[in-house]
Chains A and B, each alone.
Chain A
Amino acid sequence: MSLTRIYGLFLRHFYLITRSFPRILDLVYWPTIQITLWGFISNFFATHTTYYNNAVGVILTCAILYDFLFRTSIGFNMLFLEEIWSRNFTNLFIAPMKIGEILTSLVITALIRSLIGLVPAILLTSPLFGISILDLGIFLFLLFLSLYIFGITLGILVSSGLLRFGPSFENIAWSTMFLLAPFGCIYYPIETLPEIFQKIAYVLPLVYIFEEARNILINQTVDIENIYNAFIWNVFYFSLSITLFYYSFNAAKNKGTLINMGE
């Protein structure tokens, strides 16, 4: 064993981490998010033990909805990352494709990828747990649509970061969904969050989607305002993400990221 060589390899990674802000952020990010998310979940179940008593499958339904969001967002990012990993990135950007064509193609492909994962999950919940997500009825479609748009939005935002900062932004790509999970109120009502976090949650479409899913399953009523609010915030964030993508593309053309996609 050579300490010099061990130290040499350690330095290789140390230099990489210290020269990249996204990588430093990633080190702090995961523990913080995990503790925050599970802290709120534990807190909620400790104080509201009977909340889910009469609504078997609410947690599972929310888990499936969240997974759909997760798959859509990560799926979109994966498509973009695949081009970087395979060193095909430059080939793609010198092809006569408009940015809109690239985005549309990725959006469609991400949907197909997500559906491939979603259908078996839905089919399995019924025989295994006696639960059907289809209990959400016609509104299930609207909830999925909202989640899909938000998932794509996150995917476009992360891809903008990849364009602007290069592959070091990749770690953020994997963790965006976990950052939003505590604020999305997936497994607990928004009242569980501290007031300051509630303010953040209310400007995200997620809280309206998951509140409405619980509302339909537990109270057997539909609050159209939740669906409307989710739609409005989705339009806002989707427009923002497209604007940011174009901005990042132009910034990458100035900075040279498009021809220099290294680590």
Chain B
Amino acid sequence: MKNLIEVKEIKKDYGKKEAVKGISFNVRENEILGLLGPNGSGKTTTIGMLLGLLKPTSGQILINNLKLEDHRIEILEMINFISPYIELPKKLTVKQNLYVYSKLYKVQNIEERIEYLSEKLRIGELLDNVTGELSSGQKNRVSLAKALINEPRVLLLDEPTASLDPEVGDFVRTFLEEYKREKKISILLASHNMSEVQRLCKSVLMMKNGKIIDQGKPDDLIAKHGRADLEEVFLKLSRSKSELN
């Protein structure tokens, strides 16, 4: 499997503050990589740089072997993002929103694509509803439909199930697993839900103070640190004074 995301020694400074301190990692095709770390550890900054919203102070990002700084538009065509902190225009109906983003991503068979995603994400009955009037769970599924509208090869997920009830959360996780398997996409998942990470991710990166302090398969990390689950590993690493394992 080839690497779809290659991050090489990226740094991001805001003046004197070093938000990300030269991290490197890869995400292979058909892989979900978990990005873990306490608040302020540099996860969102890293995702921002992968999306081209932030310019790294140094280092290089390649998506599908293309340099992000030289091929921004081509890369954005094959990537998408979901976060509870961004929303779709509230006054538009669900279908209008999906139609608008289909146009922005130059989707060819728009009706077909919307129909496919509506069926998969169970939003068919919501298409004519105003987006701002949807429940959190419904909005989440609609945002996911928007994030998949361009059939991305790389999906960046920032807390994709935050604030969802267990049933909807489980639905989204199951959907992501199946979709990744079917389309062989790469997913970078930033989450504070350790059971979600343990279930979805083949491997994880632990970030703290802008650095990667540990990485590996969830089960290997649990065994290495002698803890019962990933949450305990997270707590141990977050609370440790040393930044390196």
> Which residues of A approach B to under 8 Å, CB–CB?
82-83, 86-98, 250, 253-256, 258-259
Contact = CB atoms under 8 A, between A and B. Distances in A.
Interface string B207-219: 0000000000000
Contacts of B146: 91
Interface stretch (B76-84, B112-120, B196-204): B76-84
A256 B48 contact: yes
B51 interface: yes
A91 B54 contact: no
Interface stretch (B3-11, B87-95, B121-129, B169-177): B87-95
Given A87-B86, A91-B86, A96-B77, A256 B104 contact: no
A96 B44 contact: no
13 contacts: A88-B88, A91-B88, A91-B146, A96-B72, A96-B77, A96-B105, A98-B73, A253-B52, A255-B14, A256-B53, A256-B54, A258-B54, A259-B44
Nearest to A95: B104
Contacts of B25: none
B14 A87 contact: no
B104 A258 contact: no
B208 to A, nearest CB: 20
Contacts of A92: 104
Interface centre among A83, A87, A91 (most CB of B within 10 A): A91
B76 A94 contact: yes
Contacts of A98: 73
A250 B55 CA distance: 8
A89 B101 CA distance: 13
A35 to B, nearest CB: 38
A93 B53 contact: yes
Interface in B21-51: 44-45, 48, 51
Interface in B46-76: 48, 51-55, 72-74, 76
* Chain A at the B interface: SS class: helix
Nearest to A82: B89
A83 B52 CA distance: 18
Contacts of B74: 96
Given A88-B87, A96-B74, A96-B104, 5 more contacts: A90-B53, A93-B53, A94-B81, A96-B106, A254-B55
Contacts of A97: 73, 104
Contacts of B88: 86, 88, 91
Contacts of B14: 255-256
Nearest to A251: B55
B52 A90 contact: no
Contacts of B55: 250, 253-254
A68 B206 CA distance: 55
A88 B81 CA distance: 12
Interface centre among A86, A87, A90, A259 (most CB of B within 10 A): A259
A86 B87 contact: yes
A95 B90 contact: no
Nearest to B44: A259
A95 B52 CA distance: 10
Given A95-B104, A96-B105, A259-B54, A90 B77 contact: no
Contacts of A258: 48, 53-54
A17 to B, nearest CB: 24
Instruction: Give the 8 A-B residue pairs with the shortest CB-CB distance, closest first.
Output: A96-B76, A95-B104, A258-B53, A87-B87, A253-B55, A96-B77, A90-B86, A259-B48
A258 B47 CA distance: 12
B73 to A, nearest CB: 5
A88 B85 CA distance: 9
A163 to B, nearest CB: 12
Contacts of B53: 90, 93-94, 253, 256, 258-259
A96 B102 CA distance: 11
Contacts of B91: 86
Contact of B73 (A86, A96, A255): A96
Interface in B93-112: 101, 104-106
B104 A90 contact: no
A89 B88 CA distance: 9
